[in-house]
Amino acid sequence: MEAASVPDAQVAPQAPKPAKGGATDRAKSERRLAYMLCAPAVIAMLIVTGYPIGYAFYLSLQKFDLRFPDEKEFVGLSNYGDVLSSSTWWSDVGTTLIITVASVSIELVLGMAIALVMHRAIFGRGAVRASVLIPYGIVTVVAAFAWRYAFDPTSGFVQGLPLISDTWAPFNERDSSLLVIILTEVWKTTPFMALLLLAGLALVPDELHEAAKVDGANAVQRFYRITLPLMKPAILVALLFRTLDAFRVFDTVFIQTAGANGTETVSILGYNVLINRVNLGLGSAISILIFIAVILIATFFVKVLGTSTAQQRGEA
């Protein structure tokens, strides 16, 4: 991804490159201006993320429960030991992974279908684009309520549908709760996936499809042999964004089940320990572990992403 953001250089051709040995005055003053312009945003980002995460790490090494603030003491890594040896943590990691993998893979397939409809639509393009932006723009809490009430045994229209029992209470069981949570996540974020994939589709040259058609390839073959391979970078970027987002899932679970019946995700666990139990030491250890998990996922994708873009460049 870093590689893709470098072409700035070609857009600023009027800036003379500093000569070897000593920069020209103009280049120097330009650089100074650039740093001055970037400084406020960079400093702001460092303050709002770097400082709190550092402080979270410090807290994670303390025994620090706000109910007993006097007992605050340095305990090293023992909070991490407590978290990593608890079955709750691991079952919450499992739940989070189920939600992440299920929602992201459904979104990929659905998003691709919607992107293809938007890409090839002969009419009604504007209507489709506007309507898919609605789930994207809607407040997650609102979407979570809409689906919760749709599946609620007292108010839900789903229970009013034929073939579905009037008394079905999906939020009383783990599997059906997860199903509704995943459905909500998929509904809300597939449009974002579709728009990213649509941008990737636009990069696939029509001539390739025409040529393959002439050679007798059918639509399915063209999709798997031409569209998909050329879209690989766009797909990976979309997957990266969505996987990290899905792993942090909080709003939907909080509104629909609050983590009941085995639907607790790692973010909900962190919230409960930090805010409800005000155990800042233990909670911060969970925060840091979630942070590490996100870094691992991102590194994995960037590695895959890096090799795939390198491969593509090699082939081109």
| Smallest distance from another protein to CB 100, Å | 13
Distance (Å) of CA 141 to CA 110, 147, 188, 254: 22, 10, 11, 9
| Smallest distance from another protein to CB 267, Å | 4
Q: Measured from the CB atom, is 30 or 82 closer to another protein?
A: 30
Q: Measured from the CB atom, is 211 or 275 closer to another protein?
A: 275
Nearest Cα to 266, choosing from 84, 104, 92? Answer: 92
Tokens at 15, concatenated: 């800036």
Q: Measured from the CB atom, is 177 or 256 closer to another protein?
A: 256
| Smallest distance from another protein to CB 175, Å | 21
Q: Measured from the CB atom, is 103 or 284 closer to another protein?
A: 284
Tokens at 229, concatenated: 């391979």
Cα distance between the two ends of the chain: 18
Q: Measured from the CB atom, is 177 or 187 closer to another protein?
A: 187
Phi, psi values for residue 289, rounded to 5° = -65, -40
| Smallest distance from another protein to CB 315, Å | 20
Tokens at 65, concatenated: 């429960």
Q: With both helix axes pointing from N to C terminus, report the angle between 174-201 and 125-137 in degrees, rounded to the nearest 10.
A: 130
| Smallest distance from another protein to CB 31, Å | 4
